[in-house]
Amino acid sequence: MNPLLTPFDTAPFSKIKNEHFKPAFLQTIEAARQEIDAITVNIAAPSFENTIETIEFSGQQLDRISSVFFNLNSAETNEEIQKIAQEVSPLLSEFGNDVTLNEELFKRIKSVYEQKDRLQLSVEQNTLLEKHYKSFSRNGANLSKDKKKRLREIDAEASKLKLQFGENILAETNRYEKHITNENDLYGLPEGAKEAATQLAKSKGKETGWLLTLDYPSYIPFMKYAQNRALRKELSMAFGSKSFKGDKLDNQESVLKIAKLRHERANLLGYKTHAHFVLEERMAETPEKVYSFLNELLEKAKPAAEREFKQLEKFAKDLDGIDQLQKWDSSYYSEKLKQELFNLDDEQLKPFFKLENVIDGVFEVAKKLFGLQFEEVSDIDKYHEEVKTYRVYDLEKNFISIFYADFHPRAGKRGGAWMTSFKSQWKKDGENVRPHISNVCNFTPSTATKPSLLTFNEVTTLFHEFGHGLHGMLANTTYPSLSGTSVYWDFVELPSQVMENWCYEKEALELFAKHYETGEVIPMELIQKIKKSATFQEGMQTLRQLSFGLLDMSWHGTDPTSINDVKAYETKAFAGSNLYPDTPETCMSTAFAHIFQGGYSSGYYSYKWAEVLDADAFAYFKEKGIFNKEVATKFKEHVLSKGGTENPMVLYKRFRGAEPKVEALLERAGLLEK
């Protein structure tokens, strides 16, 4: 019996074998196809109920299987799963096209759409109708037969290229190992990081020495603390040259193909560029508005960034006689300068951020703000022993959500941190079906002598991903495609980024920042130092983020057909935002998974866009009190629970009473007075 083909609530991970996936996909694609066929042959006149709602609730078993499979492909993959992904992705792409290019189906949708003003639909129903109509018209429903055929070919090829892109980066990350046998090479590295490197060496069968990898918990401490400049350079070059070596894991051809296919697809659909196509369904609306937004921030941030860079150059020269700062010097000297200016470093802070305490802390913040309770349970199946599972309730013990948390790096897990879902929320037949939400991260693991102690950056990352998690958990909409994080991409980062703010507040830190050995609450002077150092090198950080947004827009907001050199094109895109000398052997685009594998193409700007929203939103909390129930309830009701049921600016204004002001971000970042 295939466990994926029998009804299940939580995913039955322990029963699933790899060979179950492909047959399950084939069977549920066919079942979903039959559900669509039943809509098109219905002799009753098209209505919202028999067409739009029926489409919305079709293919649910296929959706569940897809979420299980592709989440495993990100968090617990292997060669077999990757092979299956290459086989099923084109099938899913083809099925998606079969639906959106189905002329009879589109006729029915169009018929309902044309009578929408007479149908007395609710706001959410109206949004759903608009969404389905646009998803068809924006994805080829009005194209001629030959153009539809080409669209299918593009989508099938692009889906495979995106998978290959991600697989290559993961393989590159996994294949780099630096075995250190001379302890002097690790001078400056904190004891915890050294112990982790020893542990890693042993786990890989090395009897002596220390092992460094490109996983963040190994890579970042080395770049930040290790005095050995030559080794920092070696690691930096390995990290920066991922999938840019001209070998079988090289992604240059994929980058060019993906960019060109996206452009061709946009042209087929009547759009000037891929960015024009994407941004039509974003708060920003047009590439022109995105460029204007990025350039306005660039104008404010660049002078500050250049001043900060000069300060760093002088500091490195005075300290170590460094004549030319390079990329591999950045974290090291920034950390040293930060310690000098604020007498603060991560090693002082880490003992106060034991992972379990931070988890308890983020749960306590969620309880104080939104009335949630998290109960760790052992009766929910999981895909790896390290995964923690929780049932989430409100204060009246009403069930809210299942929550999975997966915190440490593994060979089968891609880098970074993300939120995802194994099951959406929706309402049907009088039942409010609750969601299954997951946070996946790559944090510093425990060692033989110490528990997992997080850097402050990891703490803010945990709060960030948990903010996305809350957006999923507190969803309360009728339709699954409008639920939780199914919102405009430049709005989706608001709940995550706003949560980071609590990490800087005394009232919140005192709930969970307790020394892992003594239980001492984090001293006030450390909290003040965290707050004072929050805007340290903010100009440089902002410039870096903006450069990524501009690189994304240069790939997707122009015609890429004549580009044949990825590195040369990238160098040109970075020209206005560079501080460090270029290194010809490195390339960001070939490992820029956000835009070439994930969903951020033409959308990387949204991190900064959402920062404006989050700075403005948190200013409201600060004004009324960071645990103010009234403000928290408004945020829950108008932002977190509403998903994509209405235009995000309408929702935001309902919460805040006005549109956000960019000044809130500039003030918080310390870029106004500079």
Output the CA–CA distances (angstroms, integers) from residue 203 to 27, 123, 197, 217, 579, in the order listed. Answer: 41, 56, 10, 16, 39
Task: Report the side by side order of strands in the sheet with 388-394.
Answer: 372-376, 388-394, 399-406, 436-440, 418-423
Catalytic residue, from 53, 167, 465, 570: name it. Answer: 465
Gap between the Cα atoms of 601 and 620, Å rounded: 31
Terminal CA-CA length for the chain: 66
Gap between the Cα atoms of 214 and 518, Å rounded: 33
Radius of gyration of the chain from its Cα atoms, rounded to whole angstroms: 25
Output the CA–CA distances (angstroms, integers) from residue 587 to 582, 590, 595, 615, in the order listed. Answer: 10, 6, 14, 32
CA of residue 440 relative to chain centroid, distance:
10
User: Containing H/E element for 201?
Assistant: helix 191-203
Q: What is the dihedral of CA 534, 535, 538, 542, to 10 degrees?
A: 70
User: Containing H/E element for 427?
Assistant: strand 426-428
Gap between the Cα atoms of 477 and 399, Å rounded: 16
Residues with Cβ within 8 Å of 407's Cβ and at least 6 positions away in sequence, in order, are 355, 386, 388, 441, 442, 443, 452
> What does the buried/exposed string (b/e) look like for 614-633 if buried means 16 or more CB atoms within 10 Å of the residue's CB?
bbbbbbbbeeeebbbeebbe
User: Containing H/E element for 508?
Assistant: helix 506-512
Output the CA–CA distances (angstroms, integers) from residue 333 to 231, 238, 534, in the order listed. Answer: 15, 20, 17
Count of residues in the chain = 674
**Pairing mode of beta strands 399-406, 436-440:** parallel
Q: In degrees rounded to 5, what are phi and psi of residue 144?
A: -75, 165
How many Cα neighbours within 13 Å face the side chain of 639? 27
Q: Which residue has the tokens 């009897």?
A: 207
Q: Which residue has the tokens 């630096």?
A: 178
Contact 213, 411 (CB under 8 A): no
For the question of residue 493 being annotated catalytic, the response is: no
Sign of the C-alpha dihedral computed for residues 68, 71, 72 and 75 taken in this order: negative
* Token couple for 314: 């002088």
Active site residues: 465
